[in-house]
Amino acid sequence: MTNKLGVAILLLLAAAACNRSGTPSSSPASPPAPAATREASRSSAPLPQLDFSALAEKEGPAVVNISTVRKMRGEAALPPLPGIPEDDPFFDFFRRFAPPVPRDYRTQSLGSGFLISRDGVILTNAHVVDEATEVTVKLTDRREFKAKVIGVDARSDVAVLKIDAKDLPAVAIGDPAHTRVGEWVVAIGSPFGFENSVTAGIISAKGRQLPDETYVPFLQTDVPINPGNSGGPLFNLRGEVIGINSQIYSRTGGYMGLSFAIPIDVAMNVADQLRQTGKVTRGRLGVRIQDVNTDLARSFGLERPEGALIAAVEPRSPAAQAGLQTGDVILGFDGKPIKSATDLPAIVASTAPGRTVTIDLWRESARRSVEVRIAEAPTEPRSWRH
């Protein structure tokens, strides 16, 4: 009996050793999947739904390449000195006293634009066509047209062109007010001359004010934008244009993650005025403003820092006539909330001169409303029409 028990134990130990050494037991584990099966499994995995190909295919034909020629006047680097060869010891001496010789030369530049009507009206940036003596528009079907500059407003950096053509593809215009921070957007343009290039990113912020650009509440994006993209459209995922790609922040001259677009409602307002009257008219209130910080809000009795603090009121301005005072905090203008001082200039500028609007303000720890009749801002010397 003892011998039989010992044999049984030895058999069990041998079986366990065989299993540990890799010899299949009576119930082997499932073998690993072959490499081909694993690759097939990966390829059948669902891909992300984000896809810009349909948008690029549909909207790309409405985006144009713009090339310009400018005639510039400069001075010759080496004014000619008749009768004195350059290797003569007196050449450098006499050249210092020779008057510079003016000469004309031509420069070329590239940009982008997009069709807003089927009869050839194009929007682009003012700086793309500024001082151009010749503007050429190239379509995606390789046709080229000489364009007429209908009007330019350098203050908003918007220009309107026209080419002589019909039945062209045109973009749909969206509403930037419904755009949300974090929303995907797509740019199409000609960076460095590479026509109809598509790049994508998200809306990083809204209502950005840049130095010397008080009339434009820019859309900030992280869409890769480079020289040549200027004037091109910024699309939402519905295929609607919500902005004109205009500027980048860069220490190198190239893209560094910060790009800015003019909201399309601002651009269309400027374009309509240029087409109808040849100039851009803006509203004027007549105040100098600053932001409200936490300390100022506490001293004024405001619950939180918001609004535009009036730092000065221009004499005989609409603000002065309406009774606005230094120290008032503007919280609303014509039904629109004013969250910070940067909100006010663009809203006032977009108000038609002669309109009477209601201003909500904070004065002496109480909310008040006053009515003010908006005047016309001085004509911008940088707005013009051919």
Give catalytic residues, as residue numbers: 127, 157, 230
Helix-then-strand count for the chain, H and E: 9, 23
Q: Residue 26 and residue 17: Cα distance in Å, rounded?
A: 14
**Which helix (H) or strand (E) is 277 found in, with range?**
helix 264-277
> Which of 139, 126, 112, 116 is CA-nearest to residue 241?
116
Which phi and psi angles does 138 have, rounded to 5°?
Answer: -115, 130
The string of DSSP codes covering 327-382 is T-EEEEETTEE--STTHHHHHHHTSPTT-EEEEEEEETTEEEEEEEE-EEPPPPTT
Q: Where are the beta strands (DSSP E) in 125-212?
A: 134-138, 144-146, 148-153, 158-162, 172-173, 184-189, 197-210
Tokens of 277: 């009257």
Burial class (CB in 10 A: 0-12, 13-18, 19+), 172: middle
How far from the centroid of its chain's Cα atoms is residue 74's Cα? 33
* 115 SS3 class: strand
Which residue type occupies 63?
A: V
Dihedral of CA atoms 264, 265, 268, 274 in degrees, nearest 10, equals -120
Q: Output Rg (C-alpha) for the chain, integer angstroms.
A: 33
Please give the C-alpha separations between residue 145 and each of 129, 134, 137, 222, 356, in angstroms, as whole numbers: 15, 11, 5, 32, 45
Tokens of 336: 């629109």
Q: 266 near 156, Cβ under 8 Å? A: yes
